[in-house]
Structure 1
Amino acid sequence: MGEPADAPPGPAVRLRDRLDRHLRPPQLGQRRRDRLALRRRRGPLVGASTTDPAPGEPLRQRLIYAVSAAVCLVVAALILGPRPEGVAGTLDVSSLPWVNATINTITAGVLLAGFVAILAGRVALHRALMTTALGLSSLFLLSYVTYHWFSAGPVRYEGSLRGVYLFLLATHVVLAAAILPLALTTWTRGWFGAIQSHRRLAPLTLATWLYVTVTGVVIVVMAHR
């Protein structure tokens, strides 16, 4: 038969209770508990690794810098360099500036949605949205190069806000060159589990990326209205 209901607890039970009291974490406020739960749900973007830096990070970073420099040089050569005789005007690209503006608008929306997703702790959705934004920016780059390769010449702004236009254009071009290594670095660090450095770099990347996409739309509207 078992012990009576009112029997005093045995030594093992008393020891367990004492350890429980000493090792139990202090009571937290509900808001603090919610924040900790959200942080646990976010976790790493892939796998369970939170190694910072992630294995292979130096090699990936060198590749990112090399790819970014190569892309910038190729784009500059295609746009500013000499073109074969008769290429300009052989393809109707008059609608591409508005296509580019549309891609930039969608990209800005996807970036904001990705930001909201990570705030809500939806890591998989955040990862998918930011990867989509990277793909959209790549599509924009192809469309942008195609336009400048086949267009008859640059479009000059003829409005009264020339100083504003030139400022937006200059900052857009500089930051567009900077966003490629920034975006790739932030994305790869999140993807490969270097979460701390990913989170440190992400605000700068998001702000720069949004500025480039939004000013890209404004420049098209000002130059082609």
Structure 2
Amino acid sequence: MNTPIEQKYNKWIILLSIAIPVAVAVLFFVKIPNAQPLHFLPPIYATINGITAILLVTAVLAIKSGKIQLHQNLMKLAIVCSLLFLLMYIAYHMTTPSTKFGGEGTIKYVYYFILLTHILLSIATIPFVLVTYVRALAQRFDKHKKIAKITFPLWLYVAVTGVVVYLMIAPYYTLS
């Protein structure tokens, strides 16, 4: 049975888990007319993905060594980083033409495999992160720990592959 805190946030978890991917998909195709292209954003949001990965690993190490407050702070910061990434990603794609990957042969298939799994798992990670966070808020630490064992590797994969995707496509960005 869910606690009142979990019941309070369940509707938000469902709403955000649907609304965020739908909004990103829709906004990906919306271009702001005459907008100045934001070419400088990809290395910034790739760096934020890297920072998120470091925060996640550090947060796990903190909780394993009993540093609960540090763990909580690092996890909140990881969520903030993910939100900043999302906002910059949307802003970039609303103002800047998409970049096509220019690699050929096997590397092209590797790139698209990483990109596809990154995108799909980023969508799947949203409800996991939210549920994991709410279970901590509700002080349901047994359930928090159980779902965190799933959330952590998913979120870490998304953060790391975000950096990998950027590094693989960066040579093909244009400044025109």
Q: Deviation digits for residues 48-73 of structure 1, max 9, x if unmatched? A: xxxx7433323422221112211211
1:66 counterpart (6, 10, 15):
15
Q: Provide the identity percentage.
A: 36
2:150 aligns with one of 204, 212, 218: 204
Q: How does 1:14-93 map to 2 (within 5 A)?
A: 53-80=2-29, 82-83=30-31, 86-87=33-34, 90-93=35-38
Moved over 6 A (4+): none
AA aligned opposite 1:173: I
Structure 1 segments unaligned to the other structure (5+ residues): 1-51
In the other structure, the counterpart of 2:174 is none
What's the counterpart of residue 189 of structure 1? 135
Provide Cα deviations, 1:70-95, integer angstroms capped at 9, x if missing partner: 12111111102x435x34xx223111
Aligned-partner Cα distance in 2 for 1:145–1:54: 35
Asked if 1:143 is matched to 2:88, the reply is: yes
Question: Which of 96, 99, 102 does residue 158 from structure 1 map onto?
Answer: 102
Q: Give the TM-score normalised by the residue count of structure 1.
A: 0.72
Q: Give the partner amino acid of 2:10.
A: Q
* CA deviation vs aligned residue, 1:34-57 (integer Å, no higher than 9, x gap): xxxxxxxxxxxxxxxxxx743332
Q: Please list the CA deviations of residues 79-135 of structure 1 after superposition, one character each: whole Å capped at 9, or x if unmatched.
A: 02x435x34xx2231111100111001111011110000000111110110011001
**Higher radius of gyration, 1 or 2:** 1
Deviations 1:130-159 (A, max 9, x none): 0110010000000000000000x2111111
2:118 aligns with 172
C-alpha separation in 2, matches of 1:56 and 1:129:
22
CA contact (8 A) 1:54 1:189 kept: no
User: What residue ranges of structure 2 are gaps of 5+ in the alignment?
Assistant: 172-176
Aligned to 1:5: none
Aligned length in residues: 169
The normalised TM-score by structure 2 is: 0.91
In 1, distance between residues paired with 2:86 and 2:62? 26
Q: Report if the CA contact (8 A) 1:54-1:193 is conserved.
A: no
Match for 1:219 among 158, 165, 168? 165
Shift in Å at residue 181 of structure 1?
1.1
Q: Aligned equivalents of 2:62 and 2:4: distance in 1? A: 27
RMSD between superposed Cα atoms in Å: 1.4
For 1:17, the equivalent position in structure 2 comes to none
